[in-house]
Copies of this chain bind each other. A is one copy, B any other.
Amino acid sequence: MHIERPKQTPSQSFQKKMKATMSESSELKSSKTKPGVNRGLSILDFILRLAAIVGTLGSAIAMGTTNQTLPFVTQFIQFRAEYNDIPMFTFFVVANAIVSGYLVLSLPFSIFHILRNRAHGTRVLLVFLDGGMMALLTSGASAAAAIVYLAHKGNAKTNWLAVCQQFNSFCERISGSLIGSFAAIILFLVMIFLSGVALSHRRR
**A138 interface neighbour in B4, B138, B161, B163, Cβ under 8 Å:** B138
Residues in B neighbouring A176, C-beta threshold 8 A? none
Residues in B neighbouring A81, C-beta threshold 8 A? 157
A73 adjacent to chain B (CB < 8 Å): no
CB pair A158–B85 under 8 Å, yes or no, is: yes
Of A25-33, A107-115, A196-204, the stretch lying at the interface with chain B is A196-204
**A199 interface neighbour in B3, B146, B200, Cβ under 8 Å:** B200
Residues in B neighbouring A7, C-beta threshold 8 A? 6
Question: How many residues from A make CB contacts under 8 Å with B?
Answer: 56
Chain A contact residues: over half helix, strand or loop, or mixed? Answer: helix
A135 adjacent to chain B (CB < 8 Å): yes
A75 adjacent to chain B (CB < 8 Å): no
Give per-residue flags for A185-203: 1 if the beta carbon is below 8 A from chain B beta carbons, else 0.
1001100110111011011
Q: Report the nearest B residue to A5, measured CB to CB.
A: B9
**A149 interface neighbour in B88, B144, B199, B202, Cβ under 8 Å:** B88
Q: Which 6 A-B pairs have the closest CB atoms?
A: A6-B6, A143-B146, A199-B199, A120-B200, A139-B142, A127-B196
